[in-house]
Structure 1
Amino acid sequence: MIPEESARAGDEEGRSVRGAVRVLIADDQPMVRMGLALILRTAAGIEVVGEAGDGAAAVRLAGDLRPDVVLMDIRMPVMDGVEATRRLAAEQPGCRVLALSTFDMDEYVVDALRAGACGFLPKDVTAEHLTAAVRTVAEGEAVVAPRLLTRLIATFVGAPPAATPQPAPSVLQDLTPREVEVLRLLAGGLDNTEIAQTLLISVSTVKKHVANLFAKLEVRDRAQAVIAAYESGLVRARTAVV
């Protein structure tokens, strides 16, 4: 039986594999942890350094092991994945959290993204997508399928009432008109290439606008920027999102 909290050395001398992405797996179901670990341990350039059965253990182990990425189940006993993510974001900003959930449409996923998670995966993710997501998050990018992100946020993030016109929220006042356009398109689920095509500008210019609006909104990634767009009322949820 796999222990609820465990660490694993990288080789016989206890060193990490040189250059490998160090991953901590946090899930209260031993079989899920085992399956994720088996997939990741067969992937080149990824090292599973530990496993935790609840959020408190994940925070503890992350402090000891300093992983690059934590695969964090959202719903766990003792401390849930949202609170664990919030603590890791505050205490270890270099550690990237990739949230896991059994359900595609899970309001706790949005809470985890607000707390600092860099992406979300369903637990039935394929081995190929899992390893690709871990590598992407380790490189500093966010991992949420744009259409899924839009559905999640449009469903679970509240926006101000649309009954009366309101002035631009203070969170958006520092954005240029072009940055507001880019943010609207981000919230619509478009990637950088699609935004460039829509606005007739280069992808590199889109990336500059995205970096600028991240800094002005004080968000870490695309997911948090899209949440800000909905919460500010810049983008409003539709009655049906597909």
Structure 2
Amino acid sequence: MPKTSCLVISPYELIGDLFEGLLSANGYEVVGRAADPQAAQQCVLDAPAVIDIVVLLFCTETTCQPELIGWLGEDYPGTSVLVVTTRSEPDFLATCISAGADGYLHADMTAAGFLASIELLKAGEKVLPSRLATEIRQGEIVVAAADEASGSTLQPAVLSDLEGEIIALVAQGDSNKMIATTCELTEASVKMYLRQIFAKLSVQNRAQAAAWFVDRNSQFSPAQAKV
């Protein structure tokens, strides 16, 4: 069985070395290293096969970073993107998730926790640390946030196909257990996806999410609705 391929991106050589060693020692194949998003894009283009997981380590927020995440999501949907950062500001999390990141971890986690998160990404799951997930559940982290200084507003992220299916099932009254069965997920994964959906829509509970869905898709049945 081929090894899971990884691309490590970090402006810090020592951090890149440490994570590359950690991944390699645990059976992953690090096929490239890059110091910035532009170099990372070239690594992806030069790779002989689609890279399974791209890991962005402690990268500062730039316009290039969300552009890289969005580009990977559009052109390489089979590639998972994991952001590992020392930052915990809601706006930075929102930017990464809105751009299409599959995982967002804070750097205070253990090596074992990092490797467990990589395994979840391999399985097609999304990854958020429990602390940030709690903030999302409490409505403290939202993707659609007004910038009072500039008067601009971030547009809510477009839901993925799976997220759209989940919110449609919520709207028709399905429980988490029923959604998990329908979508072939664990109940824990359903809860995580719901938190992400709530954050993207800037809602705080199932009722508000269902109301958003019904308002937007009143002419469709849940199975037919588009998000």
Task: Give the TM-score band, short-chain normalised.
Answer: 0.5 to 0.7
Aligned residues: 180
Residue in 2 that maps onto 1:207: 180
SS in 1 for 2:88: coil
Q: Does 1:38 align with 2:10?
A: no
Structure 1 unmatched ranges of 5 or more:
1-17, 162-170, 183-194, 197-202, 213-220, 236-242
Matches within 5 A, 1:156-171: 156-157=141-142
CA contact (8 A) 1:101 1:109 kept: no
2-structure distance, mates of 1:76, 1:64 = 24
Residue in 2 that maps onto 1:81: 65
Q: RMSD of the TM alignment (CA)?
A: 3.5
State the shift of 1:112 in Å. Answer: 1.0
Structure 1 pair 176–78 and aligned structure 2 pair: CA distance change class (3 A):
closer
Q: Does 1:57 align with 2:39?
A: yes
CA contact (8 A) 1:24 1:49 kept: yes
2-structure distance, mates of 1:99, 1:130 = 11
1-structure distance, mates of 2:93, 2:196 = 12
State the shift of 1:26 in Å. Answer: 0.7
Q: Does 1:225 align with 2:192?
A: no
State the shift of 1:158 in Å. Answer: 6.0
Matches within 5 A, 1:75-114: 75-76=59-60, 80-114=64-98
Cα deviation, 1:56-110, whole Å, max 9, x if unaligned, reads 1112212222210001246348764222101111111111101111123352222
CA contact (8 A) 1:82 1:108 kept: no
2-structure distance, mates of 1:68, 1:222 = 25
SS in 2 for 1:70: strand
Residue in 1 that maps onto 2:9: 26
2-structure distance, mates of 1:140, 1:58 = 22
What is the TM-score with the length of structure 1 in the denominator?
Answer: 0.61
* Percent of aligned positions that are identical: 21
Matches within 5 A, 1:54-203: 54-65=36-47, 66-73=50-57, 75-76=59-60, 80-152=64-136, 154-157=139-142, 178-179=170-171, 196=176, 203=177
CA contact (8 A) 2:143 2:201 kept: no
Structure 2 unmatched ranges of 5 or more:
147-158, 186-192, 210-227
What is the TM-score with the length of structure 2 in the denominator?
Answer: 0.65
